[in-house]
Amino acid sequence: MMGLQKAPAASPGSFGSAPSLADLPTADFFDFESLLSVQEQRKLNELRAFLATEIAPYAGQWWNKAEFPDHILPKLAALRLSAPAQRGYTHLFAGLVIAEMTRVDTSIATFFMVHHDLFVESLYDFGSDAQQDRYLDDASNLRTTGAFALTEPDHGSDVAGGMQTTARRVERAESDGGDYWVLNGAKRWIGNGTFCNYMLVWAKDEADSSIRAFIVDASLPGITRSRIENKIALRTVQNADIVFRDVEVAEADRFAGISSFADTNHLLRGSRIMVAWQAVGQQLAAFDVARRYAVERMQFGKPLAKFQLIQQHLVDMLGNAVASMGMMVRIAQLQEDIYTDAQGTRHGGAAMAQVALAKAYCSARMRETVALGRGVLGGNGIVTDYGIAKIFADAEAIYTYEGSYEINSLIVGRAVTGVSAIV
């Protein structure tokens, strides 16, 4: 058996008569999904059914209007897929969840990833028992939504050393509520930032320049949020500019488990893996749309798929997708291979350089794949009605965020030469 799922249909267009696609292999040409347990395969198909009915018919409309469909959140929560690895699923399953969401709509996958793989995972990894009691259940079940506020207007890849948002501790008697922190600064490109209930805000301690993190109620006085307009990618995602002016945050909402940027890297490594899985999902989507179009679109009296150049494009797209998927399957295996020694030190897992190579490689192959797919559709490839234009545009965001192609390449270059070209 080659793949578990028939490729989803493209948006309707002026296609001629064509053979059925039912018996053709899916983009999972090497059947990597067979590595999942039977339970995980069933759960993945449950997700696919949800995406096919609740997301696919409307994703283009949401994207065109740059509107976020908050009405779907209860149904999305009902799938019980928040932080899959925390629920006992494998890392491979967790990655395929993101890939399948991306295959249908990159924006919804990005919302899910920001909320669950950054905000919720940070509560698991660094939240105190009291913080988990207060926030985790509502966040896991999407009764509240979260954001991850790290990037700044003037600092993206160099935010580790250039962070300008500050935190100043103020002592106060317990009878008056105890110590609190005052935040000042700005953040940019914050996904879910316009509507989230809480955000994980990173700031530099004025006292010793150490990195601190805070769970910040987005409705606190002194916070200003504005949507970033005129995007050409991930238009459904509500990215925000956020300004903090003397925002007071209780000491109880400081993440006690975070004291350096190394802690941030733990979260970013996991998020970077998921963005690489998004690059896989984009390629699956592009192949689905381009293959269907090639088989059904009639030109010169025969399907486009009868032309050798079109078949070559599809084979190149499939090769890129399979190679990227294979790399990510190995990353998922490395994620499973973690142990803790007698001194409590964790060993194994996917190293940052390995993750950086995966993100760089998969996003580069993705860029090639979506461009080939857009070309297969010709003039119809530049309107969102046929699906591929949206896929093509969203790929540019994936190519850039969670470390640009260049930054990830330099991380790998440092690992293989022992010399840093970054600093």
Using one digit for the tens of pLDDT, what is the confidence trace for 248-273?
999 999 998 887 777 777 788 888 99
120 located within any domain? no
Which region among 157-161, 171-175, 241-245 has the lowest average model confidence (pLDDT)? 157-161
Of residues 398 and 17, more confidence is placed in 398
What pLDDT, on a 0 to 100 scale, did the predictor assign at position 9? 47
pLDDT in tens, 265-310: 778 888 899 999 999 999 999 999 999 999 999 899 999 999 999 9
191 located within any domain? yes
C-alpha span between 395 and 284 (Å, rounded): 12
What pLDDT, on a 0 to 100 scale, did the predictor assign at position 348? 66
174 located within any domain? yes
Q: Which two tokens stand for residue 127?
A: 């939240």
C-alpha span between 269 and 321 (Å, rounded): 22
317 located within any domain? no
pLDDT at 86 exceeding the cut of 60: yes
Q: What is the 3-state secondary structure (H, E, C) of 359-390?
A: HHHHHHHHHHHHHHHHHHCHHHHHCHHHCHHH
pLDDT at 339 exceeding the cut of 80: no
pLDDT in tens, 396-421: 999 999 889 999 999 999 999 999 99
Of residues 66 and 3, more confidence is placed in 66
Mean local confidence (pLDDT), 79-93:
91
Comparing C-alpha atoms, which of 106, 305, 133, 301 is closest to residue 215? 133
Q: Which amino acid is at 159?
A: V
Mean pLDDT in the chain? 91
What pLDDT, on a 0 to 100 scale, did the predictor assign at position 15? 46
**pTM, rounded to two decimals:** 0.90
C-alpha span between 219 and 402 (Å, rounded): 27
189 located within any domain? yes
What pLDDT, on a 0 to 100 scale, did the predictor assign at position 11? 46
pLDDT in tens, 358-388: 999 999 999 999 999 999 999 999 999 999 9
Q: Which two tokens stand for residue 263?
A: 């802690």
Portion of the chain with pLDDT greater than 70, in percent = 93
242 located within any domain? yes
Mean local confidence (pLDDT), 117-134:
92
| Residue 215: domain span | 146-259
- In angstroms, the Cα distances linking 354 to 68, 186, 327, 336 are 34, 31, 10, 14
Where residue 180 sits, what CATH number does that domain have? 2.40.110.10
How do beta strands 302-303 and 298-299 pair?
antiparallel
pLDDT at 87 exceeding the cut of 70: yes
Confidence of residue 213 (pLDDT cuts 50, 70, 90): very high
C-alpha span between 116 and 408 (Å, rounded): 23
The set of residues, in sequence order, having a beta carbon less than 8 Å from that of 391 and lying 6+ positions away, is 106, 282, 285, 286, 289, 370, 373, 374
Number of domains in the chain: 1
210 located within any domain? yes
74 located within any domain? no
Phi, psi of 59 (to 5 degrees): -60, -40
Confidence of residue 328 (pLDDT cuts 50, 70, 90): very high
Q: Which amino acid is at 351?
A: A
- In angstroms, the Cα distances linking 342 to 66, 266, 322, 339, 346 are 51, 21, 39, 10, 10
What pLDDT, on a 0 to 100 scale, did the predictor assign at position 115? 94
What pLDDT, on a 0 to 100 scale, did the predictor assign at position 340? 59
